[in-house]
A = this chain, B = another copy of it.
Amino acid sequence: MQTLSEQILRNTIRIRPENSHKGTYGRVCLVGGNAQYGGAIMMATEAAVYSGAGLNTTLTDPANFVSLHSRLPEAMVADFHDEHQLESLVAAATTVVVGPGLGTDADSLAVLETVFKTVSPNQILVIDGSAITLVADKSLSLPNARLVFTPHEMEWQRLSGITITDQTDAHNTQVREQLNGIVVLKSHHTRIYTADDVYLNPTGTPAQATGGMGDTLAGMVGGFTAQFADLENAVLAAVYAHSAIADELAATQYVVLPTQIMHELPRFMHDHQAQ
């Protein structure tokens, strides 16, 4: 097991090349947000935009279009019930983030199945929140893509079958191999399981223990993986940065809100990019 350090940021956040355009920094599709949990996909989208992904489209319930645009005109929106549009937008993405606030009803399942059947092997697919629960509950077959799972401990129990108290590195590694993806197991000290190793994230604060924190992380993983070529490093850097920013804010705040973390991203990434 390795403990992450600030070095993962310098290894990952490249200096942007002069001759580049928005296409250079990837396309992120964020899929989620039913009428009740719309805030989750809004927070994930804000995180992707503020981390610098080139183009960001949110596929969600139309009930969430206006609130999302009120906060973030930088994102494009589309109705995730429109299967044709969902397919064409997912197919064009560098990274797809599915799950934040998606819910677990029949509509949610249909959306998830469309995403799964559409993604191709070279695309990155981040499976978060309700999408993890649906995979577990409905025993869905995972698509052939570059998979990243971002469960908290209860979602990991559902997906892996390992009860929370049994979630040791040995057990988790075994299931990760079957899943054939990267697993970000969120807890007060998050661990990341990759094909290479197990990584411990040393950053993080109990001030982060509030709703929406995971949605923000999922969006950051989306934004980082869309622009930085090394998938494993991109995931590790997103996890490290997310909690490192929270640590900074917690120096003066009792609770850190998810949306506050995103707004620090442009500055934090500037200060920790490759030299």
Q: Mark A1-23, 1 if CB is under 8 A from B, else 0.
A: 00000000000010011111110
Are the C-beta atoms of A22 and B209 separated by less than 8 Å? yes
State how many copies of this chain the complex holds.
4
Partner-contacting stretch, out of A35-43, A115-123, A141-149, A174-182: A35-43
Q: Mark A67-90, 1 if CB is under 8 A from B, else 0.
A: 101111111111000000000000
Partner-contacting stretch, out of A106-114, A194-202, A229-237, A249-257: A249-257
Are the C-beta atoms of A211 and B51 separated by less than 8 Å? no
For window 95-139 of chain A, which residues contact chain B by CB distance below 8 Å? Answer: none
Known: A21-B188, A65-B35, A188-B21. A212 touches B74 (CB 8 A): yes
- Could you tell me the distance between the alpha carbons of A205 and B256 in the complex, rounded to whole angstroms? 28
Q: Find the B residue at minimum CB distance from A49.
A: B257
- Could you tell me the distance between the alpha carbons of A69 and B42 in the complex, rounded to whole angstroms? 9
Q: Find the B residue at minimum CB distance from A21.
A: B209
Are the C-beta atoms of B73 and A212 separated by less than 8 Å? yes
Q: A158 on the interface (CB 8 Å rule)?
A: no
Are the C-beta atoms of A54 and B254 separated by less than 8 Å? no
Known: A21-B209, A74-B210, A259-B74. A13 touches B254 (CB 8 A): yes
Count residues of A near B (Cβ-Cβ below 8 Å). 69
Task: Choose one: B20, B36, B267; the contact of A78 (CB below 8 Å).
Answer: B36
Some 7 contacts from A to B, beta carbons below 8 A apart, are A25-B210, A38-B65, A49-B257, A52-B210, A55-B211, A74-B211, A254-B266
Q: Which residues of A contact B (CB under 8 A)?
A: 13, 16-22, 24-25, 35-40, 42-43, 46, 49-56, 63-67, 69-78, 152, 187-188, 205-207, 209-213, 250, 252-259, 265-270, 273
Other than the known A49-B257, A253-B269, A254-B273, what 9 A-B pairs have Cβ atoms closer than 8 Å? A20-B206, A21-B188, A37-B76, A39-B77, A53-B210, A54-B211, A66-B67, A73-B259, A252-B270
